[in-house]
Structure 1
Amino acid sequence: MNKPAIGITCGDINGIGLELIVKVFSDPRMNEICTPVLFASNKTVNFYRKLAGDNHFSFNAIKDFSRLSNKQLNLFSSWEEEVAVTPGKLNEIGGKYAVLSLQSAVKALQEGSIEGLVTAPIHKSNVQGPDFSYTGHTPFLKHTFQAKEVVMMMCAENMRVAVATEHIPVKEIHSHLSTELILKKIEIIHQSLSFDFGISKPRIAVLGLNPHAGDDDLVGDEESTVISPAIREAKNRNQLVFGPFSADAFFARGQYAHFDAVLAMYHDQGLIPFKSLAQGEGINYTAGLHIVRTSPDHGVAFDIAGKGIAQPHSFLEAVYKCVDILRNRSEYEAQRANPMKKMMPEVTSKLVDEKIED
């Protein structure tokens, strides 16, 4: 596989996204891994380059993809007007240009000008408008690329945690869950572990919804009426699926280490233990799309924006993982085209083993 062109969105221009991008791509070795394309504007990026002080960050400004450089970050102009950047402030400007960056990057994906996408964080409230009425990147990408269903999967070296429901109020979780939904999520996870992560016989754990996984229906019956039927049907499809597990004991006892992925029923059930155990290096991957999209596992962090103290580990991991998944997909397709060719046994490519030290 040739070095892929990876699109980078700037996220909320008042958050930590552009600071992280400057830090990550100040290291010229990143250009050995991919051809990065940032979707923003010269003046906005220069604001954060100056804020970072003495660094080796530089970029190649382009207005069309015929002028991509393989030796430095490329900056595709997504807007021309001068924009007031106010780090740490939640305002309409931050949301407006986050959406412009995302739309510009998605257009490039659709046209084949880039091969993968890494998205910097946006704030859900200030991106709302006529051109963007979604609760985040995941539903927007699901709609744009016409996927019937997708899965938000958090990935780290030691675990992968997916969620059956995403950004919805806790009081509505019950009404969103169904056997059909859970079964579809399991199917997508299973396919992604094989196709995107190179795991031939993935093992998937499914968590219960209620305390103690319902405790034999004493504290809720969703486990027996909704979740277990989905697990049984997945097993009938020859998938290695287990559960439902009591969420607290599952993570406390380290059971997650015995599985290739875990399906949680709702956002906090999965993400609280994930972020606690991933040690700041987790990433978010949207499984179920025909394109590859990753992001860091944190938000805009307005409280530290503009202070130069944001840590780039998760964003760096998101870039690595985007490249890795593209590589794994290429190898998977090559194996399908030539079944006699032995697939590489590694779950991820050697790029992750050659991580750039800070």
Structure 2
Amino acid sequence: MNIGILQSAGIAGTVIECALSTPDNDDVFTATIYSKDNGNDKNVGADLKFGNISGIVVAPGSATEFSFDSAMTMYVAERMRLATVFPDKSAEELMESFDRDVLAERINKVWMSLKRDFLVSMPRIALLAPDGMTEDVADTLAAVVAGLSEQGIGVFGPYNTNDYIDRQQFLHFDATLAILDGEAKEVLGAVTDESRTKLLIGIPMVMASTEYGATNDFDASGIVQPAYALRKAVYTVIDVVRCREAYDEGHSDPLPKLYHERRDDSEKVRFAVRKQNNAPENGN
């Protein structure tokens, strides 16, 4: 499997070299480094389209950011997966206008990602309650959860953020969904570290990055942790690619039903009155 890694100038090259220095890498994947220095930074889209690379990872220290209208960011760590419904909204904006359709659509997106990207057969999603939640917002959350549950989507909550962390309730769910960015950061800071991976879900390609963006200040003496985060992001992309291939193969061209129930639904049969047998038994 070939994974594309986007490299910026400066220390990022050293981080990539450190991350890929493990001898067993060649048995699992090969890496194509995209950078201006290599003269191939414009080839990423074409290589994805024609299958030359299976996924993309943005290296630590890179200023490259991808944004898609349909995408959500899912944080993938050792003990939890977490996404945010309204990452760009403030609490005041949310309380003024709460879009239940967007909430339901994004819960569906996380649920589908768990099934296809992680092969979770029956996903369980925990919904966190935003701080300062009004009664109207609470009723809306409860109604959305109830409606999706009736459709067979395993979403539960809303849960108080502090109780959710203190009682380690996240261990009982396949993903956590925060309404606002504040609750998401609170949970991430308490449960995970900076080696977590940022996976884009809801898009056709597999793309991930680390928490070490262009604004992070690290030098050659402190590249071990960013290199470890990059390595985890690469293997997350590999796992997701393999899961998607397995899921798509298992759900493409399914076998037809082997047995069909024989029944006649015509009105003649439905409204027919069964005749009673009034013949005497034993000649009586």
Match of 1:322 among 227, 237, 241: 237
Q: 1:275 Cα deviation (Å)?
A: 3.8
Return the TM-score normalized by structure 1.
0.64
Distance 1:168 1:38, change over 3 A: farther
Counterpart for residue 26 of structure 2: 31
Would the aligned equivalents of 1:8 and 1:120 in 2 still touch at CA under 8 Å? yes
Counterpart for residue 209 of structure 2: 295
Q: 1:173 Cα deviation (Å)?
A: 4.7
3-state secondary structure, aligned to 1:194: helix
The answer on 1:261 being equivalent to 2:153 is no
CA distance in 2, matches of 1:122, 1:166: 23
Distance 1:302 1:202, change over 3 A: closer
1:256 is aligned with what amino acid?
F
Would the aligned equivalents of 1:296 and 1:315 in 2 still touch at CA under 8 Å? yes
The answer on 1:19 being equivalent to 2:7 is no
- Flag as ranges the 4+ runs of structure 1 deviating above 6 A: none
Match of 1:278 among 189, 192, 198: 192
Would the aligned equivalents of 2:18 and 2:224 in 1 still touch at CA under 8 Å? no
Counterpart for residue 92 of structure 1: none
CA distance in 1, matches of 2:108, 2:138: 19
Mapping of residues 1-358 of structure 1, within 5 Å: 4-11=1-8, 13-14=9-10, 17-42=12-37, 77-78=39-40, 101=41, 103-121=42-60, 136-137=65-66, 139=67, 142-143=68-69, 149-167=70-88, 172-174=93-95, 177-211=98-132, 214=133, 217=134, 221-225=136-140, 227-311=141-225, 312-337=227-252
2:239 is aligned with what amino acid?
D
Q: For structure 1, which runs of at least 5 residues remain unmatched after alignment?
A: 43-75, 79-100, 128-135, 144-148, 341-358
Would the aligned equivalents of 2:198 and 2:209 in 1 still touch at CA under 8 Å? yes
Would the aligned equivalents of 1:8 and 1:105 in 2 still touch at CA under 8 Å? no
Distance 1:232 1:30, change over 3 A: same
Would the aligned equivalents of 2:85 and 2:178 in 1 still touch at CA under 8 Å? yes
What does the per-residue CA deviation read over 1:252-298, in whole Å, with 9 as the maximum and x for residues that have no partner?
A: 21011110001101223113322432234311111111111111133
1 or 2 for the larger relative contact order (CA 8 Å, sep ≥6)?
Answer: 2
3-state secondary structure, aligned to 2:24: helix
Distance 1:327 1:123, change over 3 A: closer
Counterpart for residue 267 of structure 2: none
Report the aligned-residue RMSD.
Answer: 2.6
Q: 1:178 Cα deviation (Å)?
A: 1.3
Would the aligned equivalents of 2:62 and 2:213 in 1 still touch at CA under 8 Å? yes
1:303 is aligned with what amino acid?
D
1:159 is aligned with what amino acid?
M
Would the aligned equivalents of 2:5 and 2:32 in 1 still touch at CA under 8 Å? yes
Q: 1:6 Cα deviation (Å)?
A: 0.8
Q: 1:228 Cα deviation (Å)?
A: 2.1
Q: For structure 2, which runs of at least 5 residues remain unmatched after alignment?
A: 256-284
3-state secondary structure, aligned to 1:77: coil
* Larger Rg over CA atoms: 2
2:16 is aligned with what amino acid?
I
Percent of paired sites with the same residue? 25
Counterpart for residue 51 of structure 1: none
3-state secondary structure, aligned to 2:34: strand
Would the aligned equivalents of 1:154 and 1:297 in 2 still touch at CA under 8 Å? no
1:187 is aligned with what amino acid?
N
Return the TM-score normalized by structure 2.
0.79
What does the per-residue CA deviation read over 1:299-351, in whole Å, with 9 as the maximum and x for residues that have no partner?
A: 335422344445122211100010001111111122224768xxxxxxxxxxx
Would the aligned equivalents of 2:82 and 2:175 in 1 still touch at CA under 8 Å? yes
3-state secondary structure, aligned to 2:119: coil
Would the aligned equivalents of 1:150 and 1:185 in 2 still touch at CA under 8 Å? no
What does the per-residue CA deviation read over 1:78-97, in whole Å, with 9 as the maximum and x for residues that have no partner?
A: 3xxxxxxxxxxxxxxxxxxx
